[in-house]
Amino acid sequence: MRWFTFSSIALGAASAEYITNSWQTQDFKTLVTFGDSYTDENRLGYFINHNGSAPPVGVDLGVSYKASTGGLVWPRYASIYANSTLYNYAVSGAVCSNQITPRTFAAINAPFPDILGYELPAYLADSKYVSPNGTAFFTGTPDTTVYAIWIGTNDVGNNAFLTDSQVAGKVLTDYVDCVYDVVDGLYASGARYFVLLNLAPLNLVPQYATPAQGGLNSSQFFTDKQNFSGGNITEISYRMLETVDTVNGIYQYRTPFETRVNNTWPGANIANFDVNALITDMYAHPAEYLNGTAPLNTTGYVIGAGNISRSDRDSFLWYDELHPSEQLDRVVAREFVGVLGGESKWAKYW
């Protein structure tokens, strides 16, 4: 837990306007990402296929064409749109720290690898690795690399905070502290550009939605849902809404405080990407974002729709009970590139 001392604080549009001049999409040649299944391509798959062992240092795991979206995930699209090199350290099932919300994965007989304990150290090791022939694995530089962190879907979900399964005494602020601890670690290694993506509107995904919004009594990722809140899925959805809104409210004020008051990372540039507002807008105005050949669908999901064509998939907001569709991820990637341009309506810059 960080401790703050307030003397004076003035956090307004002027601060955001000041920093945007240093963000230019074409300047970012490298993208480094951390997170969970919303971001992972195939890193968890490596753990599964190698008896729980992590990928060796300096190994490129390549592209996955069937990730959590059923196709490419947003960081791959973002790297394509921005013509940048992607280093993706996200692991499906991950939380920020297993010291707060550990979740055991039977396939590797261990907790899912987390950001603070695995993903960050894996990046740091790769960033220093030089092959026997003298070639550096990591080619980014502080001025041309942006680091993106999108974590929390599992931290605040079932088998974690939603079901009171966190380590005894741990609270939501511990999870948020962890995210900023990751920034600390990256900054110490030389990183200077960061994008923090807030929590998605998890109360809208079929796994956590209300019955009126297509909420499910159980799902493949929450099989014991009926054991909580007396099986009242509306109550579960409202609790998720409250949790997401609380955490995102902390993000909204924590970043400007760290950068403008505490001056925690001198010379750093941080953008808060309000992906929650973006996805909520997609939910409310699907015709502006979805472009498939089937009727637009914001409450159902691709794998629950039976045998549908590839083009039909782009009519859905969700791929399965918990994960975004590929079309949703294309939009997130497009807007992420807009964030890198320094003038996104979905972002604030510090």
Residue 5 has pLDDT above 70, yes or no: no
Segments in 35-73 forming alpha helices (H)? 43-49
- Residue with token string 């707060």: 100
Instruction: Give per-residue pLDDT as tens, 249-306.
Output: 999 999 999 999 999 999 999 999 999 999 999 999 999 999 999 999 999 999 999 9
Give the alpha-carbon dihedral of 105, 209, 99, 170, to 10 degrees.
-150
> The domain at 13-278+326-349 falls in which architecture?
3-Layer(aba) Sandwich (3.40)
pLDDT at 206: 98
Identify which of 294, 325, 346 has the alpha carbon closest to the alpha carbon of residue 204: 325
Return the number of other C-beta atoms located less than 10 Å from residue 253's C-beta. Answer: 12
CA–CA separation, 350 and 256 (whole Å): 6
| CA dist 79 → 87, 211, 330, 343 (Å) | 10, 37, 11, 19
What are residue 146's phi and psi, to 5 degrees?
-120, 140
Mean of the pLDDT values across residues 68-97? 98
Closest CA to 123 of 145, 151, 102, 155: 145
Region 65-79: mean pLDDT is 98
Identity of the amino acid at 271: A
Give me the half-sphere count of Cα atoms (radius 13 Å) on the Cβ side of residue 286. Answer: 18
Spatial CA neighbour of 251 closest among 194, 177, 337 = 177
Mean pLDDT of 102-125: 97
Confidence tier at 21 by pLDDT (50, 70, 90): low
Q: Phi/psi at 193 (nearest 5 deg)?
A: -120, 125
Element (H, E) at 327: helix 326-340
CB 235 within 8 A of CB 209: no
If you search the block for the tokens 């060796």, which residue do you land on?
A: 56
Task: Give 304-313's long-range contacts (Cβ < 8 A, gap of 24+).
Answer: 304/206, 313/70, 313/71
pLDDT for 6 equals 35
Mean pLDDT, the chain, integer: 94
224: Cβ contacts below 8 Å, ≥ 6 apart: 158, 218
What's the one-letter identity of residue 195? Answer: V
For the chain, give every domain's residue range: 13-278+326-349
Query: Which has the minimum average pLDDT: 16-30, 135-149, 227-241, 301-315?
Result: 16-30
Average pLDDT over residues 8-14: 41
- CA-only gyration radius of the chain, Å: 20
Q: Sorting pLDDT into bands at 50, 70 and 90, what band is 15?
A: very low
Find the Cα–Cα–Cα–Cα dihedral 167, 171, 94, 122, rounded to 10°: -90
Distances (CA, A) of 83 to 8, 130, 328: 42, 24, 20
Select from 129, 153, 156, 154 the least CA-distant residue to 140. Answer: 129
The per-residue b/e assignment along 166-199, b for 16 or more CB within 10 angstroms, e otherwise, is beeebebebbbbbbbbbbeebbeeebbbbbbbbb
Element (H, E) at 88: strand 85-88
pLDDT of residue 22: 83
Which residues does 275 contact at the CB level (< 8 Å), separation at least 6? 150, 197, 198, 200, 332, 335, 346
Q: What are phi and psi of 85, to 5 degrees?
A: -90, 135
Percent of all residues in the chain with a pLDDT value above 70, rounded to a whole number: 94
